[in-house]
Amino acid sequence: MTGDLNGAGQQVTEAALAAASSTAARISACVGSVFLGKPDVLRQSIIALVAGGHVLLEDVPGAGKTVLARTLAASIGGRFSRVQFTSDLLPSDITGVSVYSSRDESFVFHQGPVFANVLLADEINRASPRTQSALLEAMSEREVTVDSKTRELPRPFFVIATQNPHEHSGTYPLPESQLDRFLMRLSIGYPDRESERRIAMVQGFSGNLGIESVVSPDEVAAAQQVARIIPFPGFLMDYLLELVSRTRSSDLLELGISTRGVVSLASAARASAVVGGRGFCVADDVKSLFVPVCSHRVVVRGHRAGGVSTGTEAAAILSDILLSTPVPGD
């Protein structure tokens, strides 16, 4: 039965699996020491990282979006760049630009901030759609084309974008087709009182998080590879497709989950298994990731304009669907 989805040659070696889950565990421990009180959000962003996807953090300022992004980047230990999106930001400010060098008598390409392992795109909805799409193209293609020359982005390439859903003036809300490029949309929310107390004590005003890298980018890449070949059993696929078809037939939703959403959810579930140190997926993987992976992929009836919804409505509808869909097995 094991060989149904993956041929005999495609089995995950135990060592590779152990290495991958240890990578995830180290990142989790490291970030968790600073980013307190929100273990779910942390776990989900690590799953997104391992699944090779990108994360859209949607929350009010000061909720810890930047802390999460920076500590993640620092723990991976690769190149980290941060771009503050503003309305006058140009695409080349992100991708990089070719500059004529009089010394070499040729154009020399200066890499933009997108050439990083972790990219924090702050307040993405403030930039013009053109700039947004430049970033989004880089996110999905994992390469940048400047002056008709294609340049590979480093690996792993992980984007954490943030936006403030409550600010409407001077923003360009991301269209659904582009929201789709993010594996998950997360919102952090306020931490519990105890955690908040500790955050205040630990961080103080220093701003220095004191994080050192605990994994190498190569290790993250290897974990991503493992996550890609974890078998996804047929009965779980049936469960997943049942969930998806319910979003498509729901009266409350204008637009259900796309096929890309199905693929994303499956790959997120695989990554979740890897993060859990398992060589197999279970229904819990699908169930726990359904809302974060899918809430930005559906359009709630009456919110066609998009972007204005914080996703809480969509999340509530999706949760209802979860509660009404039977899980396979005894």
- Does 241 participate in binding another protein (rule CB under 8 A)? no
Q: In the range 4-23, which residues lie near another protein by CB under 8 A?
A: 4, 6-13, 16
Nearer to another protein, 234 or 302 (CB): 234
d(CA 256, CA 322): 14
What contacts 24+ positions apart, CB below 8 Å, involve 14-18? Answer: 14/279, 16/222, 16/225, 16/226, 17/226, 17/274, 17/277, 17/278, 17/279, 18/277
- Does 294 participate in binding another protein (rule CB under 8 A)? no
Nearer to another protein, 2 or 87 (CB): 2
Closest among 97, 108, 98, 114 to 152, alpha carbons compared = 114
Q: Which of 238, 260, 302, 312: binder of another protein (CB under 8 A)?
A: 238
- Does 228 participate in binding another protein (rule CB under 8 A)? yes
**Taken in order 64, 66, 67, 73, is the CA torsion positive or negative?**
positive
Q: Which of 129, 189, 233, 307: binder of another protein (CB under 8 A)?
A: 233
User: Interacting stretch for another protein, rule CB under 8 A, among 62-70, 127-135, 283-291, 297-305?
Assistant: 283-291
What interhelical angle do 14-32 and 259-275 show, nearest 10?
90
Least distance in angstroms from the C-beta of 3 to another protein: 7
Least distance in angstroms from the C-beta of 236 to another protein: 7
Closest among 183, 286, 292, 295 to 238, alpha carbons compared = 286
User: Which residues here bind another protein, judged by CB under 8 A?
Assistant: 1-4, 6-13, 16, 142, 152, 155, 218, 221-222, 225, 228-229, 231, 233-236, 238, 278-284, 287, 322-330
